[in-house]
Structure 1
Amino acid sequence: MLKKYKLSLKTILFSSLIVSTWLAWLLSQAVVSSSHLVLQPVQNHKYECETTSSENRAVFRVKVPTDYLAKQVLPALCQNDVIKRQYGHVEVFWGGSLAEQIEFFGKGIADLILSKDSILQALRADATHNYMPIIGYSSYSAFFISNKEKPKLEKAYFLDKKIGLLDYPTSRSGHILPKKAFKSLDLDIANLDIVYVSSHSALREKLANNEVDIIASYWNDKKDETLFSHNYITPIGENITGSRWYLKLSEENTDLACAVQSVTKEIAQSEGTAYFDSLHEFWQCNSIPYKFIGEN
């Protein structure tokens, strides 16, 4: 009986060894084959277009936080002469989660991405994928804005209010800072009446139409004072570092850098707000040869 038991134990151990070896081989094959795969973005919210270079298979991939911005960027890039010469296809992905930014930025999937310098530094994307800044937005302040009274930073004040926020979690003025303020007031987000929208313009439209009582955003003296009162804003954050457009430049493609700088600058200034009058242009494109000028 003991002899049979020993034989059975040896058989089980031998079988386990065979199975383990087989699984290890399968895993190694999966790792080897995955090295030949093309990285694919984590989400499918995108718009795309073909340039006039239809036989060119090169794809220019862009990552932006909102649907609103994606719809602005796509036609501007597809109609740009430099993009048309170098690429046959443009894909613009949109979505505001940090996980998506890490995927596109950290793995070098995006050729062009709108993000924060802190995320670039954390991922070391400048060193690993040679991302370089193209256009930088100025620092700004964030506010709760109402059109009927000055918002109060008190717990009871927000309990019966309809609040407008941005639906992408990486926005400091429209998402991070207001939620931080709610937390500091010991407010449960789940118990608040929050309406999420895709852009700062949409927030203002809802506030002007009395669809929400309060929004969280930046304040634009030039434009907002025509709709709302400066007396009815309450600061929730100051000196917030602005976002930047980053371009992946594996080669000294200065034509592309200047073309992208021109497109992103035009899109920013089309908003007609004073905030975008002080954009930082990182490339000196009004002289030949073009030159990266870096920080001021």
Structure 2
Amino acid sequence: MKYNLKLSNNTTIVTVLFLSVLACFYLAKALNSPSVVVLPNLLEKHIQCQTRSVSNTQSFNVHVPVKKLAEALAQKLCSDPVLAKQFGLVNVYWSGNLAEQIDFIAKGLADLTLSKDNVMKALMAESTYSYKAVIGYPEYTSFFISNREKPKLEKAYFLDKKIGLLDYPTSRSGHIMPKQTFKALDIDIDALNIQYVTSHKILRDKLSSGELDIIATYWNEDDEVHFSKNYITPTGSNISGSKWYLKMVSDNTELACSLQSLLHHVAQETGSSYFDSVNEYWQCNTFPYEFLGERE
């Protein structure tokens, strides 16, 4: 009887191990299946438009962090005469999820993307897919901003405040730096009253209306129209701005120069003084056009 019990136990163990291995096999197969890709998950976060080259089936794919930027960019790209000579469709995807952004860059899915240089370097995107910077935004300082008092970097100060952050995990000023500050102050994020929004403008609107007590963002000189410069507290300085990167598998210098001008105009249309001094990385005044390098 004891022998049978031991045999039964051994059989059970072998069966469980076999089923575990089998489950792992099918899980690995599913994860490596071509059907498991990021793009289908982003179809709802996607704008498509057609260039004047209606018979051209080539698509120009773009990845940006927020919907508002995707909307501002799509029609301008479809109207660009240089891009229209090469592509028939423009697809602009948006997502603030870092994993999805990494997928677009690491797999070379994006022809044009807005990203941080540290992300591009970590993924070796410049050597793997020949991504080159087109324009870059200047360094900046991140702040907590209030409209009634100067924010204090003290644990007790934040516990009863309505705090606004960006729902964009790769944003330094609106997400990363404030959370690093909370961690340094030994504050449990779950204990805070945090509202996540999709843009810096919405943060400012909610602070002005009294819906929020503090927001995490950058400071513009034109912010002083609505807020006091005495009521801002820095959370980080010399933060590198984002850059637009174009996949340059071929020496497509005309497209790079056309996009440099287009993206500069898109930045200026935001009305923010921050974008008045963007860094341009291409010499486009005389032919042959050439890459100048990422000089700040």
Q: Tell me the TM-score normalised to structure 1 length.
A: 0.86
1:204 touches 1:215 (CA, 8 Å); kept in 2? yes
1:91 equivalent to 2:91? Answer yes
Residue pairs, 1:122-141, within 5 angstroms: 122-141=122-141
1:200 shift after superposition = 0.9
CA RMSD in angstroms comes to 2.1
Separation in structure 1 between the aligned mates of residue 254 and residue 167 of structure 2, nearest angstrom? 35
Separation in structure 1 between the aligned mates of residue 161 and residue 119 of structure 2, nearest angstrom? 33
CA distances 1:135-180 after superposition (whole Å, capped 9, x unpaired)? 0111110000011110111111111111111101000000001011
Residue pairs, 1:13-52, within 5 angstroms: 34=34, 41=39, 43-44=42-43, 45-52=45-52
Separation in structure 2 between the aligned mates of residue 247 and residue 214 of structure 1, nearest angstrom? 36
Separation in structure 2 between the aligned mates of residue 96 and residue 243 of structure 1, nearest angstrom? 13
Aligned match of 2:200: 200
Residue pairs, 1:192-271, within 5 angstroms: 192-221=192-221, 223-271=222-270
- The one-letter code of the counterpart of 1:108 is G
2:38 touches 2:103 (CA, 8 Å); kept in 1? no
1:295 shift after superposition = 2.9
- The one-letter code of the counterpart of 1:204 is R
Aligned match of 1:279: 278
2:133 touches 2:294 (CA, 8 Å); kept in 1? no
Aligned match of 1:119: 119
Separation in structure 2 between the aligned mates of residue 177 and residue 40 of structure 1, nearest angstrom? 28
1:38 shift after superposition = 11
Separation in structure 1 between the aligned mates of residue 124 and residue 213 of structure 2, nearest angstrom? 41
1:272 shift after superposition = 2.3
Separation in structure 2 between the aligned mates of residue 165 and residue 145 of structure 1, nearest angstrom? 11
1:273 shift after superposition = 2.3
For structure 1, the 5+ residue unaligned runs are 1-15
Aligned match of 2:170: 170
Aligned match of 1:67: 67
SS at match of 1:151: coil
1:233 shift after superposition = 0.0
1:40 touches 1:109 (CA, 8 Å); kept in 2? no
Identity of aligned residues (%): 54
1:162 touches 1:195 (CA, 8 Å); kept in 2? yes
1:43 shift after superposition = 2.7
Q: Tell me the TM-score normalised to structure 2 length.
A: 0.86
CA distances 1:190-227 after superposition (whole Å, capped 9, x unpaired)? 12111111111111111111111110001011x10111
Separation in structure 1 between the aligned mates of residue 75 and residue 264 of structure 2, nearest angstrom? 15
Change in CA separation of 1:190 and 1:39 when aligned onto 2, cut-off 3 Å: closer
Separation in structure 1 between the aligned mates of residue 98 and residue 294 of structure 2, nearest angstrom? 26
1:127 shift after superposition = 0.6
Separation in structure 2 between the aligned mates of residue 273 and residue 47 of structure 1, nearest angstrom? 25
Change in CA separation of 1:263 and 1:67 when aligned onto 2, cut-off 3 Å: same
Higher mean C-alpha displacement, 274-283 vs 139-148: 274-283
Separation in structure 2 between the aligned mates of residue 40 and residue 255 of structure 1, nearest angstrom? 30
- The one-letter code of the counterpart of 1:65 is P
Change in CA separation of 1:38 and 1:261 when aligned onto 2, cut-off 3 Å: farther
SS at match of 2:150: coil
SS at match of 1:225: helix
1:39 touches 1:109 (CA, 8 Å); kept in 2? no
Separation in structure 2 between the aligned mates of residue 70 and residue 128 of structure 1, nearest angstrom? 26
1:117 shift after superposition = 0.6
1:67 touches 1:94 (CA, 8 Å); kept in 2? yes
Aligned match of 2:156: 156
1:144 equivalent to 2:152? Answer no
1:293 equivalent to 2:292? Answer yes
Separation in structure 2 between the aligned mates of residue 98 and residue 236 of structure 1, nearest angstrom? 22
For structure 2, the 5+ residue unaligned runs are 1-17
1:274 shift after superposition = 2.4
Aligned residues: 268
Change in CA separation of 1:218 and 1:181 when aligned onto 2, cut-off 3 Å: same
